């Protein structure tokens, strides 16, 4: 394979994925700083009697109508940890039932909360698939970068940097396990 082809692949695909890199950097740092998708969100909760699973969606829609709560842009129901969820990462409403009590929660997230939902893979299939494709391409970026480095005959420096990275990561992992 020609170096020029490897360089073009590396350059164009890495620039294409740069916005996704920035998204994952911002949301990942936010997670490390103990933010969560609901940090800064406007959350409203209501109590309701227990609702059978097969009637949850109809009950939820009627409840929201009676309370004059705006419906989310997407009504397509999904489940997470037993709760029924409708809506989008920026505005979702969920209904969870425990025993004789149901709780309805409306969550309006800010931009950071939405980015964190994308990072967790909870912002729709298309973004989830793009994130997986990005992960595969990230591996290909490293392979193409290594191939370019080997063509420049900087093998000793590249291998030294890799070994140093392994030692630092190994030391930090060992410290975390003990």
Q: List, for residues 91-128, the tens digit of each pLDDT value.
A: 999 999 888 899 999 999 999 999 999 998 888 889 89
Determine the Cα–Cα distance for residues 13 and 73; give it in Å rounded to an integer.
33
pTM of the model: 0.74
Q: pLDDT band for position 147 (50/70/90)? A: confident
DSSP 71: P
If asked whether residues 57 and 82 sit together in one domain, one would say yes
If asked whether residues 16 and 58 sit together in one domain, one would say no
Which domain, by its residues, includes 134?
A: 3-35+115-177
Residues in the chain: 178
Task: Give the start-end residues of each E strand in 132-176.
Answer: none
Angle 41-47-50 (CA atoms, 0-180°, nearest 5)? 125
Q: pLDDT band for position 89 (50/70/90)? A: very high
If asked whether residues 140 and 163 sit together in one domain, one would say yes
Instruction: Give burial (CB, 10 Å; 0-12/13-18/19+) of 156.
Output: exposed
Domain count, the chain: 2
Domain limit, last residue, from 82, 108, 134: 108
């Amino acid at each position: 394979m020609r170096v020029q082809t490897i360089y073009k692949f590396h350059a164009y695909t890495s620039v294409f994925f740069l916005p996704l890199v920035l998204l994952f950097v911002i949301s990942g740092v936010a997670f490390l700083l103990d933010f969560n998708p609901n940090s800064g969100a406007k959350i409203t909760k209501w109590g309701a009697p227990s609702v059978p699973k097969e009637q949850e969606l109809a009950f939820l829609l009627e409840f929201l109508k009676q309370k004059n709560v705006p419906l989310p842009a997407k009504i397509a129901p999904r489940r997470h940890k037993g709760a029924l969820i409708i809506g989008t990462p920026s505005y979702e409403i969920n209904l969870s039932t425990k025993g004789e009590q149901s709780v309805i929660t409306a969550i309006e997230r800010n931009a950071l909360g939405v980015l964190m939902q994308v990072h967790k893979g909870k912002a729709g299939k298309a973004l989830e698939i793009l994130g997986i494709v990005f992960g595969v391409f990230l591996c290909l970026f490293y392979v193409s970068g290594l191939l370019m480095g080997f063509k420049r005959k900087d093998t000793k420096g590249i291998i030294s940097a890799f070994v140093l990275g392994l030692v630092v990561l190994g030391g930090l992992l060992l410290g975390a396990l003990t």
